[in-house]
Structures are given as structure tokens and as C-alpha cells.
Structure 1
Amino acid sequence: MSETAGPNPFGRVEDDGTVYVVTSEGERRVGQVPDVEPAEALAFYVRRFQTLETEVGLLEARVKSGALGVEEARKSIESHRKNITDANAVGDLASLLVRLEALTPAVEAQQEQRRAEKAKAAEQAKAEKERMVSEAEKLAQGNDWRGGVNRFRALLEEWKALPRIDRATDDALWHRFSSARTTYTRRRKAQFAEQNKKRESAKQLKEQIIEEARPLATSTEWGPTAGAFRDLMARWKAAGSAPRAEDDKLWATFRGIQDEFFAARDAAMAEQDKEFIGNQQAKEALLDEAEKTILPVTDLAAARTQFRDFLAKFNEYGKVPRDAIRPLDARVRKLETAVKEAEAEEWRRTDPEARQRAADTVAMFAGQIDKLTKQAEKYEAEGKEKKAKEARDSIAFNQTLLEQAQKSLDEFKA
């Protein structure tokens, strides 16, 4: 048997087309390609080697990029090792095995990195779950019945998205979270049950108020009935809210009854106002005349008489329209106030006790000035200029006070 033409350090071909691969352990038959040129037979098995080489290159790239999980990478390396060791191919199979072996440290490093990342993720997940448990326990003791239920729902979704940590810690945290949610749910249901009970009670109270209001709708006792409706309204507000849909209907019914009464009252009052318009006009004419003759008050005795006569005539006229009552009363009070203020001023000016107090004040300041004048003259005679000046300054100050007191005294009638 002659060897192949075309040298290849990793393989040879015999004349019958049998192909051998050369390894460190010697030659190994890899196959036979009969009836072809030796170079072609060898090339067939070289291409198989090249395919293996390409696969190893792809595996290297995937391992380095981290595209494979650690276990998947190990299985791939082992699978490629078996394929290369027993491969029916011609090439440097040993170098491919060396390249595979070189991947093992990278896979181990990735495993360590992933362990560290997993541990870090577990710590973060633990911290997040502890935070969520604390928030849940706080929510469980609160009274935010609408926002709380939405927040618990969001926390549950966040919890599901987090990875599990060690079983004992995870179970303990979940137990606390679940217990908080259960506590909140029970309290919320109890609160709503209590609210529903109150709303049902409010509904019954409002139905009773409506029944009491119905006969009042046709009453013509305007004053007492309006007061009765005010009392019913106070009770209505104190009753609280009935279930929303029913509360609106109950209010519409009660409001309709009130509107019926007040509409009838307003119509009756409007009719009465037509009858009272003459009284209004007469009273306004009296006021116009009184304001001209009394204001401003310059003669108190005449003003008293004029106001008394005006008031007697004013009261002879009967009721006026409702919207005229307050403006007329305000004008009458203005006249009355002016007369009373004039009386007060008159009394102030004629009060003998007040006049005497004013006279005493004038006498006091006059006496003080006489005393200070004598002192000043004495000091001047003795040559005590400083003390004389102080006395003269005091005289000037007391003189000002005396003038003010004299003005007050002059205001009193003799």
C-alpha cells in the first residue's frame, strides 16, 4: 500500500481509498472513499474536520458572550469533546480538544459570576419583600379603604415578579404579607358593613321625614310650616347618607314636597304684596318728608316732636311687601339714631356733674400755673437760672393743658 499524494501532517490515504488520521497516539482509520483520487478522499475527511473546527469556534463565541447557561455550556463542551475524540475526520483534533479545555475556566468564572449575581438578586429581592411587608402591615392598620385595596393589588403583582429567596425566609415574609392583607380585607369588609348599616338606617329616617313632610305641602300656615320644614331639613342633614342611588331619589322626593309648599307660599305672598304696595308708598312719602325736616338735627326739641309725630303716622299704615320691610326699617332707624345721638350730646353738654369736673380741671391747672410762676420768679431772684428755666417749661406745658380743659368747659351750657 502506498501513501497518499499531497502531504498532510494529520492524515494519509492508501491506494484503496482508506483514510487515516494521525494523532499523538498513532494512526486511526477514519473511513474509506474508493474509486476516487487520494487527494479527493483526504479532502472529504478534511472538510469534516473543518466542520468540527467551525462548531468549536461557534461554541467559543457563545461561551464568551454568555449566551449559554453554565450547565448548557458544560454539556456542549462534553458533547463536542466526544465528537472530536472519535471523529472520522482529518486535522489537528488535539488542538480542538485543547481549545475545548480552555473554555472550562471561562465557564467556571461565569458560574461564579452568576452565583454572585444570584446572591445579590436574592438580597435585593429580600430587601424589596421586607419593604413590601412593612408597607403592607402599615396599610393593614390604616383606613384608606379605596387606595389601600389598589395598593395591595399592586404590591401583590410586584411580589409575584420578584424571584424566590431561601425558602424559610421567603415563606416567613409571605406569611407576614398575606396576614397583613387578610387583616386589611377583614377590617375593610367590617367598615363597609358598618357603613351599609348606617346608610340603611339613614334611608329609613329619610323615608320617615318624607312621610312627615307630605301633609305639610298643602298647608297655608306659612310661618309655622316654613319652620317645620326647617326642622325637617335639619333632621335630614343629621341622618347622613343613604345608599347613593336611593339617596338621590329620596332627596328628589323631599325637595319636590318642599318646592310645592314654598311655591304656594311665594305665590300667596306675591298676591299679598300687591295689596300692601299702597302702604309702602305712603310710608316712603312720610320718610321722605321726615328726613328733610329732621335731618340734620339742629333743634332737639323740634326734632323730638317731629319724629314722634312721624312715627305715629308711620305706624297707622299696615303691612308692606316683604322686600320693602328691611329698607323702610333701616331708614326709620337712621332717623331714630340721629335723634338719640342729639339727645346724648345735649345731655353731655348740660350734665352738671360733668361740667363741675371740667371746671375743677381748669381750676387745678390754673392753680398749678400760679404756683410754678411764683417758683420761677423766686429762682430768678436767687440767680438759679437752671431751676427757673425748668419752672418756666412746666408753666408752658400746664398752660397747654389749661387751654384744652377750658375748651371742654366752654362746651357746656351755663
Structure 2
Amino acid sequence: MSSDPWGRVDETGTVYVRTADGEKVVGSWQAGSPDEALAYFERKYEGLVVEIGLLEKRVKTTDLSSKDALTAIEHLREQVDAHHAVGDLDALRARLDKLVELVEARREERKAQRARQSEEARQAKEALVVEAEELAQSDQWRVAGERLRALVDTWKGLPRLDRKSDDELWHRFSHARSAFSKRRKQHFAQLDAQREEARRTKERLVAEAEALSGSTDWGPTAARYRELMAEWKAAGRAQREHEEDLWNRFRGAQDVFFAARSSVFAERDAEQAENLKLKEELAGEAEKLLPITDLKAARAAFRAVNERWEAIGHVPRDARPRVEGRMHAVERALQEAEEAEWRRTNPEARARAEGLTGQLQAAVDKLKGQIEQARAQGNSAKAEKLERELEGRQALLDQALKGLQEFGG
């Protein structure tokens, strides 16, 4: 008979293992000594220890599913419960019980984690739906379109929810994308129609611009080109493939006209600069007639100068007031001299001036007499009033006398 702390072999070769519930038969051993029997079944026990250790490690360090882990535990428990090994089988059962608790705890933890992940995924998808619904109202077609495509990629990367919730959120998400696509399609269809209308308008403007390019009616044509340019800007843009070609034709027609006008204006400017030089010389010649001493001779000389002046063409617009002002000054001097001569030689005007002077002189003399009489009577108030009236009449008399002198009298 042979034994150790966990088992023994009796005289018949039967092997027993000691447990908390008493001894259990392990098996019968007839092939060798009792020590060899114990050693054999102890090795089987060590095999169970190794298997349980490996399973514990797998449960703790891998993503072994709870179902597979419990199946493996039950398989090992059956081997332990079969009592085909010598060792502390109760300790192995305790380890398996703890392993079951760990697997259950891991299962609950994973369940809670899946619940958290599902809620996070729900919140993430709801946020995507809200943003997509906001983007569906946007007019920033390129930016919003790119963002919606990015949202689809983000959606695909999120875990699925329960079928009902996932389908409802996807329906809202898909509807928002469809609404945006419909609005964008309508916008660009309208834009295409506007651009086609702009193309037709600009082709008409180009045709008119090209027809005007050979015009020599400089002022009205230049004004019409400005109107055409305003119409061009108001027409909006045509399709990209047409816009540049139409603009080049439109601008080219204007360039032809304005180049021709510039050439003509350059010749005209040179001619007007020469005209200005000639008119400045004539203005200087006219100014030499001042001051006027011989009206008749001055008038004849000015007439001759003015005839030569009129024969000369236009001068630059900015120089016109200055050079014409010089001639006008001489002309005004002649007119004033003529008026003075007319007044001096007009008998009727002289007679009227003499009559007015005589009347004023009589009124002054009368007032002087009245003043002397009032003073003699001691009426100083009346005298002062008459003196003030005298001052006014005397001033009129002095003016009339000055005018009479212009007649040489």
C-alpha cells in the first residue's frame, strides 16, 4: 500500500483521491508499483493544473468569448469531477468557480461597453443627421456637398445600432442628402438657364460692338460703347466655354474703334496745339491796341485781327477760356469806348443830361433859401430836416454834373 497527502493505493491496486467530501476512487492500477500509480495520476492532475492555468490566461488576456470560455470551463470541470487525477481537486474546482465569476464579470463589462458604444454611436449618428439636415438648407454648394460626402464616410465608420433605430436615422440622413441634391440640381439648372440667356445677350452685344468698330462718329459711338459695357456687366456670366471667347471679341471690337479714334485725336491734338500758338499770337497783337486812343483805327485793326482769328480752327479745350478771354477783354474795351463816344456825341442824351442838371440845381438853390428862412425864424428842427434833404439833392446834382462832363460840357 502506498499514499501521499492527496491520494493512496490499497492492496488491490485501487487508487483513491482525498477530497472535502471524502475519498473518491480514481481508478485501478495493475501495471506497476503503487508509487508509479500515484505518480501517473499526479501527472494527470498537473495536466489539469496547466490547462486551467492556460484558460485563466486566455480569459484575462484575450478576447475569448464568454460562451467559448464557459464551454472550456465546463469541459475542465467534468474532468475534475471525474476524479481521474490525484491532487487538490477542490482547489481546482475553486479556481474554476472563480474563473466562471471572472467570465461573467467580463461578459457584463463587455455588455456595458457595448451599450456605451451603442449609445455613443447613436449620439454620433444623431449629430450627423442634425448636421446633414442643416446642410440641406445651405447655398454653399461646393463646401456643403463636400461636407455631406465626409459625413457619409463618417457614418460608414460607425457601428450599427438596433435595426429600427439605425433605419430611422439613416432615413433622415438620406432624406437630408436627397433634399440638398435636389436643391443643388435646381440651382444649377437655373444657373445654366441664366448663363444661356447671358450668352445670347452677349452674342448680340458682340455683334453690335463689331458693327460699330469701323465707325468714325467718335462721340456717339464712344458713348454707345460705354452703354454696351454696362449692358455686358448687367448680363451676368455665360458658360465658361463661351465667356472668354465672347469677351475677346467684344473687347477686340472696342480696341479697333478706340485705336482709330486715338490716332485721329492725336492728329487733331497736334493741329489744335498749333492753332493755340497762332491764336495766342493774335491775342497779343489785339492787346497792343490798348489803351484805345483812336477808336476808328482800333476798331478796324481789331476787325482784321478777328477775321484771321476766326479762320483758325479749334484749340485744346482746356486752353480755350484763357486765350479767348484775352480777345474778349480787348473787345469789351472797344465796346466801352464806343459807348462813351456815343454818349458824348448824342444830342438827345446831352439835352436830357443838361435838363436834369438844371432841375437839380434849381432844387438845391431852393432848399438853401428855405434853410436860411427857417434859421431866421428860429425853427432849427425844420432847418435840420431841410439840410438832410439838401445833402441828397446835392449828391444827385454832383452825379449829374459828372455825367454832363462826359459829353464835353
SS in 1 for 2:136: helix
* CA displacement 1:241-275 (0-9 Å, x = unmatched): 11123212221222122222222222222232232
- The answer to whether residue 109 in structure 2 is matched with residue 113 in structure 1 is yes
Determine whether 1:217 maps to 2:213. yes
Map of 2:24 onto structure 1: 26
AA aligned opposite 1:54: V
Pick the aligned partner of 2:177 from 158, 181, 190: 181
Alpha-carbon distance change, 122 to 318 in structure 1, aligned in 2, over 3 angstroms = same
Distance, in Å, in 2 between the alignment partners of 1:259 and 1:114 is 79
Q: Which residue of 2 aligns with 1:60?
A: 56
Whole-Å separation in 2 of the counterparts to 1:30 and 1:263: 124
Q: Tell me, what secondary structure is at the counterpart of 2:27? A: strand
Is 1:144 the counterpart of 2:146? The answer is no
In the alignment, the residues of structure 1 paired with residue 183 and residue 170 of structure 2 have an alpha-carbon distance, to the nearest angstrom, of 20
TM-score, normalised to structure 2's length?
A: 0.62
The answer to whether the 8 Å contact 1:10/1:22 transfers is yes
Partner of 1:319: 314
Write the letter of the residue equivalent to 2:233: K
One-letter identity of the residue aligned with 1:148: A
| Long gaps (5+) in structure 2 | 286-305, 327-409
After superposition, residues 162-241 of structure 1 pair within 5 angstroms as 162-241=158-237
Moved more, 55-64 or 224-233: 55-64
d(CA) in 1 for partners of 2:180 and 2:237?
24
1:21–1:89 CA contact under 8 A, matched in 2: no
Percent identity over paired residues: 44
- Which residue, 242, 247, 265 being the options, matches 1:269? 265
For 2:26, give the aligned amino acid.
R
The reply to whether residue 101 of structure 1 matches residue 62 of structure 2 is no
Which stretch of structure 1 is more off in the superposition, 251-260 or 109-118? 109-118
Report the counterpart of residue 248 of structure 1 in structure 2.
244
Deviations 1:25-70 (A, max 9, x none): 52223888x68x8767765654453343233223323434574333
* Cα deviation digits, residues 331-350 of structure 1 (max 9, x gap): 78999xxxxxxxxxxxxxxx
Output the CA distance in 1 between the equivalents of 2:133 and 2:16.
Answer: 73
**For 1:123, which of 119, 124, 135 is the aligned residue?**
119
Q: Which amino acid aligns with 2:245?
A: K
Instruction: Give the counterpart letter for 1:28 in structure 2.
Output: V
d(CA) in 2 for partners of 1:280, 1:19: 147
Q: Are the equivalent residues in 2 in contact too, given 1:9–1:22 (CA < 8 A)?
A: no
Distance 1:314 1:65 in 2: 115
Distance 1:64 1:271, change over 3 A: same
State the shift of 1:279 in Å.
Answer: 2.8
Determine if contact 1:199/1:242 at 8 Å carries over to the other structure: yes
Q: What SS is found at the alignment partner of 1:218? A: coil
- 1:29 aligned counterpart, secondary structure: strand
Q: Please give the alpha-carbon distance, in whole angstroms, between the structure 2 residues aligned to 1:68 and 1:287.
A: 116
Q: Report the AA paired with residue 239 of structure 1.
A: A
Residue-pair matches, total: 305
Matched, 1:153 2:149: yes
Retained in 2: the 8 A contact 1:66–1:110? no
Letter in 1 for 2:24: G
Aligned to 1:400: none
Q: Deviations over 1:156-182 (max 9, x none)?
A: 222222233333333222222211211
Query: What is the Cα deviation at residue 106 of structure 1?
Result: 2.1
Q: Determine which structure has more spread, i.e. the larger CA radius of gyration.
A: 2
The partner residue of 2:70 within 62, 69, 74 is 74
Q: Distance in 2 between matches of 1:332 and 1:62?
A: 112
Does the CA-based 8 Å contact 1:19-1:42 persist in structure 2?
no
Unaligned runs of 5+ in 1: 290-311, 336-414
Shift of 1:195: 0.7
* Residue pair 1:287, 1:331 contacting (<8 A) in 2 also: no
Between the aligned partners of 2:99 and 2:284, the Cα distance in structure 1 is: 116
Rounded Cα–Cα distance in structure 2 between residues aligned with 1:211 and 1:264: 19
Q: Return the alpha-carbon distance in structure 1 between the equivalents of residues 97 and 48 of structure 2.
A: 15
Mapped to 1, the partners of 2:111 and 2:56 lie a distance apart of: 21
Distance 1:73 1:216, change over 3 A: same
Contact 1:31–1:88 under 8 Å retained in 2: no
With structure 1 as the length reference, what TM-score do the two structures score? 0.61
Shift in CA distance, 150/31, structure 1 to aligned 2, threshold 3 Å: farther
Q: Structure 2 vs 1, CA of residues 221 and 103 (structure 1 numbering), >3 Å: closer, same or farther? A: same
Amino acid across the alignment from 2:51: E
Alpha carbons of 1:233 and 1:222: their partners in 2 closer, same or farther (altered >3 Å)? same
Paired with 1:173 and 1:288, the residues of 2 have a C-alpha distance of 96
